[in-house]
Amino acid sequence: MSKTINTRKGLDIRMLGEANKVISDLQLSSTVSVSPIDFHGLTPKLNVKEGQSIKSGEILFCDKYNDSIKFVSPASGKVLSIVRGEKRRILEVIIQTDQEQVFPPNETFDVENINGEQVKETMLKSGLWPFVKQRPLDIIANPENKPKSIFISAFDSSPLAPDFDFSMQGQNEDFQTGIHVLSKLTEGKVNLTLSSSTPSTSFFNNIKGVEIHKIKGKHPAGNVGTQIHHIDPINKGDFIWTVNAQDVAIIGRYFLKGTYEPKKVIALTGSEVKSPRYYRLNMCSNLSEMLEGNVENENSRIISGNALTGDQKKINSYLGFYHNQITVLPEGNNYKFFLTKGWFGPGFNAFSNSRLYPTFLRPNKKYRLDTNTNGEERAFVVTGELERVFPFDILPMHLVKAAITKDIDGMENLGIYEVAPEDFALCEFVCTTKINIQEKIREGLDLIGKECM
C-alpha cells in the first residue's frame, strides 16, 4: 500500500510552453556527443582516438581515478572529434553515427536468478553505472559503497517538466526488469515515488519489488532530495543511490536484450517553441534536428534540462546525459522601461512569489518568463524568502552562508549531507540577493567530499 507525504513549502512557477502529449520519433542524429562535463568531479581517461570506428556500447573513456566506471558510446560510428578546452581538458567526444547501427555480440542474463555482484559487474562493464548517482555529494555512485536504500522518482515538479506516466508508456517490462536488478544492489528498500495526482491506471502503481510513496505539494516535491529527506533521511556515513525513471528502463532493456540502447522520450518545452511536444530519440543527440524551424524567436536561450537547473546550449549542441527535457525561453537581454515593465511597473505580466505584484490574484495564469535576473548581486541578508520555499527541516540561509565561508563544521551541522544543488534552485529563483546559490552549494559539497569523505 502506498504512503502519501504532504510537503507544505515550495512554489510552482507557472510558465507557458508545456509539451503537448504527442510523441514524434526522430531518426538517429547524424552526430552524438558524450561530454565528461555532465559527470561532476570526473577526470576522464580516453580509450579512443579521432577517426576510430566504434560500436554502440563500446568504451569511450573511463574515470581516471576509478577505471571500473566506464562511459560508452550511445551509437555506433566513427569518432569525429575530441573537443578540448583550457589545459587540454576534454569537453566532448563527438561520434559521427552509422546509418546501420552495429552492436557488440549480445549478452544473455538469467534475470530471475542474478545476484548483486553480477548486476554490479555487468553495469560497470556495460557503461550503465553512470546512471546511478549517490547522495551525499550528488555524484556518480561509488560501487564500493553500500547504499542503505535506492530512490527512483517517477515524477518531476520543475517548471514545464515532462510527464513520465505519458512518456514511458509501453516500457512496463523494461522498467520492471530495471527495478528487479537494481534491488540486488541494496539490502534496503527500493523506493518509488509518484505524484499524488498519478492516475490509478498508471503502470507505476503495479510495479513489484518497490515501496511506493505518493508526494503531494509544490515544487520541489518532485526532487529526489526532497523525497529522501521525508522518507529516509541521510546521516553522516550513509549512502543513498538514485536513478532517473527513464534510466531505469534503459538498464532493464540491457538485461533483457543484452544490447546498449539508450533511447529516451524528451519533452521540448518553453514559450518560444512553436510546437512543444515529446520526441523519442537517442541520448546525447544533436539538438538542431529538433529545434531548427521550431523556435519562434532567434533571441532565445536553449536549455538542456529545466529552466532552474539546466545547462545553456546552442542550437547545434547536444542533449545532456541526465536530461529529460529541453526548454527554450526568451533571452531577457532587452532593457525594460522602469515605469512599464521595470521595477516600478504594475507587474500584471510579472510572476512573483510575494504579493508585491498582483500575481496572487490570478492563480491559474501562465507567464512568458525570460532569463533576466532583474538586478545585480547584493548583500546576502536574512529575509526569510528561502525558508518559505524550502521543504526541508534545514535552515537554508544559514547553510548557504556556511558554504560561502567554507565552514565545514557549520555545513555538517546544518545538513549538507542531505542536499544537492538542485534542491536550492528554487531558493536561487526567489532570492533577492541574486547570488548563485546552486554554485555555492556545489562548492560546499566539493569541499566536504575532499575533506570529510
- Which residues does residue 427 pair with via DSSP β-bridges, in sequence order? none
**pLDDT at residue 83 greater than cutoff 60:** yes
Contacts of 253 (CB under 8 A, 6+ apart): 174, 177, 178, 261
Q: What long-range pairs does 281-284 form, CB within 8 A, spacing at least 24?
A: 281/25, 281/26, 281/28, 281/29, 281/319, 282/28, 282/29, 282/32, 282/74, 282/75, 283/32, 283/74, 283/319, 283/321, 284/32, 284/33, 284/34, 284/35, 284/74, 284/318, 284/319, 284/321
Measure Cα distances from 321 to 73, 82, 244, 246, 301 in Å.
12, 17, 11, 12, 19
Measured N-to-C along each axis, helices 245-257 and 172-182 cross at an angle, to the nearest 10 degrees, of: 90
Supply the pLDDT for residue 378: 86
Dist. CA 221–CA 238, nearest whole Å: 22
Dist. CA 320–CA 206, nearest whole Å: 30
Pick from 252-266, 350-364, 426-440: least confident: 350-364
94-143 pLDDT tens trace: 999 998 999 998 888 999 999 999 999 999 999 999 999 999 999 999 99
User: Are 428 and 436 spatial neighbours (Cβ–Cβ below 8 Å)?
Assistant: yes
Q: Beginning with the edge strand found earlier in the chain, give each strand of the sheet holding 300-304 in spatial order.
A: 23-25, 277-282, 263-269, 325-330, 300-304, 311-313
**pLDDT at residue 332 greater than cutoff 90:** no
CA torsion, ordered 268, 273, 276, 282, to nearest 10 deg: -30
161-175 pLDDT tens trace: 999 999 999 999 999
Q: What is the DSSP letter of 74?
A: S
Supply the pLDDT for residue 384: 87
175-210 pLDDT tens trace: 999 999 999 999 999 999 999 999 999 999 999 999
Supply the pLDDT for residue 376: 82
Q: 5 or 355: whose pLDDT is higher?
A: 5
CA terminus-to-terminus distance, the chain: 37
Q: Where are the alpha helices (DSSP H) in 84-157?
A: 116-126
- With a pLDDT cut of 90, the percent of the chain lying above it is 85
Phi/psi of residue 378, nearest 5 degrees: -130, 180
Dist. CA 55–CA 260, nearest whole Å: 10
Q: What is the DSSP letter of 267?
A: E
Q: Which CATH class is domain 27-97?
A: mainly beta
Supply the pLDDT for residue 333: 84
Q: What radius of gyration do the chain's Cα atoms show? A: 22
DSSP string, 141-167: PPTTS--SEEEEE----STT---HHHH
Q: Beginning with the edge strand found earlier in the chain, give each strand of the sheet holding 59-63 in spatial order.
A: 44-46, 59-63, 66-72
391-442 pLDDT tens trace: 999 999 999 999 999 999 999 999 999 999 999 999 999 998 899 999 999 9
Measured N-to-C along each axis, helices 245-257 and 116-126 cross at an angle, to the nearest 10 degrees, of: 100
User: Cell for 97?
Assistant: 553515427
Dist. CA 15–CA 269, nearest whole Å: 10
286-318 pLDDT tens trace: 999 899 999 998 899 999 999 999 999 999 999
User: Are 414 and 390 spatial neighbours (Cβ–Cβ below 8 Å)?
Assistant: no
Supply the pLDDT for residue 393: 95
Q: Which residue from 404, 409, 391 is spatially nearest to 436, judged by alpha carbons?
A: 404
> What stretch of H or E contains 79?
strand 77-84
Where are the domains positioned within the chain? 1-26+105-332, 27-97, 385-452
